Amino acid sequence: MLKRERLHKIVEMVNSQGIITVNEVINELNVSDMTVRRDLDELDKAGKVVRIHGGAQSISYSINQELSHTEKKGLQINEKMKIAELAASHIDDGDTIFLGPGTTIELLAQNLINKRIRIITNNYPVFDILKHSDSADIILTGGDFRKNTGALVGPLTNSNLRRLNFTKAFISANGIRNESICTYSIEEGEAQEIALNNSRTKYLLVDNKKINKDDFYVFYNLHDIDHLITDGSINKDVQKHYEQYVNVIVTNKQD
């Protein structure tokens, strides 16, 4: 394959998948590691891709229009279920926990119905899942309802959260890049920041497609998170990169 054809193919792969790894290009084009890295560097300098650790990202992959709640529920469902199950194993009877917005957090809630814990949430779908639990105490923060995500946000939400302390907080995000944790909504980000600051132990739950991805509002620093839980499909080079910021916990692919 000529170099021009190879570069064109790499750009097609990046634009189709959003993010690609060096190993994916090696397997697809049957070329050496050195060649792929050189090609990605060249495409980055030409402004055709964004070079990231272990691969490349599409120029248009960042800061897109926010997906609806229904659309998000259909993405990476198996990976999210594994993340939720693993996160639930970190919750003990007697804990007072905060659950933020996000479809991964909603799957976590399904694993908590029989736990003897106190749950504070600004995620209305989480409340809807847990409201019939006979063992968990549920507190809904109140606030302005964001239909697109089911989150409660705004001054009332933030005021209530500032008065509460948690043993553990579980939040998700639309993307993380290096130490930046991002979301689409400023108001959702502000509420999660308050809850995290009031929590002894902080958990971030994101599937591998959220890693090395930007979004509009940076609401927290990964250095200040205790544990990042992600799925077993994360690229090993990417995992190693993020371990310099946070303790990375990965689900088992065989689950």
> pLDDT tens digits for 242-251?
999 999 999 9
208-to-118, 137, 160, 170, 193 alpha-carbon distances in Å: 29, 32, 32, 17, 22
And the tokens for 223? 């250095």
For 190-235, write each residue's pLDDT tens digit: 999 999 999 999 999 999 989 988 888 999 999 999 999 999 999 8
Residue numbers in the chain where pLDDT is lower than 50: 254-255
250-to-99, 115, 183, 206, 234 alpha-carbon distances in Å: 20, 23, 22, 10, 8
Residue 254: predicted pLDDT: 46
Residue 17: predicted pLDDT: 81
Q: pTM score, two decimals?
A: 0.77
At 139, give phi and psi (nearest 5°).
Answer: -125, 125
Residue 1: predicted pLDDT: 80
